[in-house]
Amino acid sequence: DAGVTQSPTHLIKTRGQQVTLRCSPKSGHDTVSWYQQALGQGPQFIFQYYEEEERQRGNFPDRFSGHQFPNYSSELNVNALLLGDSALYLCASSHPESSTNEKLFFGSGTQLSVL
């Protein structure tokens, strides 16, 4: 059983560009959350998707947007990239019975570098 898979694993972009990161949740999971982990810091919550709707959002600007597809996979889009967007982006999924995120499963992340 595959866990949470993210693609690509690494990405290099330049300032002002746009990027799309992808996440496939663990089988049977319907909720996807995205986190940003800057170097030397703990992950920060970006937003969560459930039933193709954004359920909760952290303190991130509108340049960060997302989408969830009917098969529960998700995309994170970042527009007008800034140098400060360089980070590891983590996707996490959870089971329908774990709406309080007590059993989050994380992917290995996408390392985004903005030059």
Q: Is 104 in the site for another protein (CB under 8 A)?
A: yes
The single residue among 24, 33, 68, 110 that binds another protein, judged by CB under 8 A, is 33
Q: Are 25 and 72 spatial neighbours (Cβ–Cβ below 8 Å)?
A: yes
DSSP 8-state class, residue 72:
S
Kindly indicate which of the ranges 10-18, 69-77, 78-86, 107-115 contains the residues binding another protein, using the contact rule CB under 8 A.
Answer: 107-115
How far is residue 90 from each of residues 33, 51, 52, 60, measured CA to CA in Å? Answer: 8, 20, 19, 15
Q: Which is nearer to another protein, 19 or 36 (CB)?
A: 36
Residue selected from 45, 65, 79, 95 as contacting another protein according to rule CB under 8 A: 45
Is 35 or 72 the residue whose CB approaches another protein more closely? 35
79 Cβ contact partners less than 8 Å away, ≥ 6 residues apart: 18, 63, 65
Question: What does the longest C-alpha to C-alpha distance in the chain come to?
Answer: 41
Binding positions for another protein, rule: CB under 8 A: 3-4, 33, 35, 40-45, 48, 55-56, 58, 90, 92, 99-109
